[in-house]
Structure 1
Amino acid sequence: MSIIKINAITVPADSGDELAHRFAARAGAVDNQDGFEGFELLQPTDDRTTWLVLTRWRDEKAFQDWVASKNFGHGHGHGEGADKERQKPVGVSAELWSYRTAGGSTPEA
């Protein structure tokens, strides 16, 4: 069963565009990772300053393998060859949440 990881990133009100830009620049970087099933960057539509990065994984091991990979480190400003600009965080805080689907529905096409 898939697991869902949500990274809740709080950014200053004037930094949301930069966060979106950085994610767009890395688009597709995780697509070929074994066990990766999907990604969404969710922008708040109200006064909140917390953006949500939602990823789906085959299982916890697939997610942990991604976190331990060189590609993860490079994309998050760690390790050799990491872009120095990316090392400057946009967010003021981040919290990782983990879920599994317990119910729901999908409309027919």
Structure 2
Amino acid sequence: MSIVKINAISVPEQAREEMERRFAARQGTVDKAPGFEGFQLLRPTEGGDRYFVVTRWADEESFAAWRDGDARAAHSGEAKKPVATGAELLGFDVVIDVPAPTAE
């Protein structure tokens, strides 16, 4: 069963552009991680200041291996000023999964 991890990151409005630029610069760095199934960066549009970084994994072990390995290494060298004012990691099991219809 797949799992979803959502990192809810609070980002002040004046830092949103930089936040998105940083994610765009790292785009593709997680794609080859074993067990990785998908990624979305969601920008808030209706109130609030939290971005949602949504990742989907084959299992908890795959996520943990990435988190404790490649993800840690990717962030360890950053000396940039943080743009977030807080973050919370949420985890979910995928119970029902309805894929989009395919064009025939």
Gapped regions of structure 2 (runs ≥ 5):
none
**CA RMSD, aligned part only?**
1.3
Percent of aligned pairs with the same amino acid? 42
Name 2:79's counterpart in structure 1: 84
Which gives a bigger RCO, structure 1 or 2 (Cα 8 Å, sep 6+)?
2
Gapped regions of structure 1 (runs ≥ 5):
none
Mapped partners of 1:10, 1:83: distance in 2: 19
State TM-score, norm by structure 2: 0.90
Mapped partners of 2:68, 2:26: distance in 1: 18
Name 1:108's counterpart in structure 2: 101
Q: Which stretch shows the higher mean deviation, 17-26 or 99-108?
A: 99-108
Equivalent AA in structure 2 for residue 51 of structure 1: Y
Between the two proteins, the alignment pairs up a number of residues equal to 102
Q: 1:105 to 1:41 in 2, by over 3 A?
A: same
Mapped partners of 2:9, 2:17: distance in 1: 13
Q: Any runs of at least 4 consecutive aligned residues in structure 1 with deviations exceeding 3 A, and if so which?
A: 104-107
Equivalent AA in structure 2 for residue 103 of structure 1: I
Q: 1:105 to 1:27 in 2, by over 3 A?
A: same
Name 1:93's counterpart in structure 2: 86
